[in-house]
Amino acid sequence: MDQLQNYLFIAAALFSLGLFAVITRRNAVAVLMGVELILNSANVNFLAFSRFGGMNFDGHVFALFVIIMAAAEAAVALAIIINLYNNYQSINVDEASQLKR
């Protein structure tokens, strides 16, 4: 468990799964969940490199900023998704070719 490679592999697996969700899912909320998985994998990488590369806390601050960005992104994305639902009565990202109807 005290090995950098373990954490990097976990982060790579989370990233791949998130990317899979972003590619295959049609529901916009599911795509958003895939993006959250990708952001989490980036955070694991930041903290792993911080822990095994000298523990100078820069990685911690970066991970904190990533979490802040994720909060802002989720709020705006859900506002857009709800708008989309009001306009189209569905949140299938393939059908949404226009923001206004």
Partner 1 sequence: MSEFLFWFMTAMTIGSALIVVLHSNLFYSALALVVTLFGVAGFYVFLWADFLAGVQVLIYIGGILILILFGIMLTNKISSVNISHSNFHQSIAAVIVLGIFSILGWMILRTPWLLIVQQEPEQTVGKIGRLLMTEYLLPFEVASVLLLTALIGAAMLSRKAN
Q: Which of residues 21-50 bind partner 1 (CB under 8 A)?
A: 21, 23-27, 29-30, 32-34, 36-37, 40, 43-44, 47-48, 50
* Region of residue 31 (phi > 0: left; psi between -120 and 50: alpha; otherwise: beta): alpha
One-character DSSP codes across 65-101: HHHHHHHHHHHHHHHHHHHHHHHHS--BTTT---S--
Q: Which of residues 61-100 bind partner 1 (CB under 8 A)?
A: 61, 63-65, 67-76, 78-83, 85-86, 90-92
DSSP 54: T
Residues that bind partner 1 (CB under 8 A): 1, 4-10, 12-21, 23-27, 29-30, 32-34, 36-37, 40, 43-44, 47-48, 50-55, 57-58, 60-61, 63-65, 67-76, 78-83, 85-86, 90-92
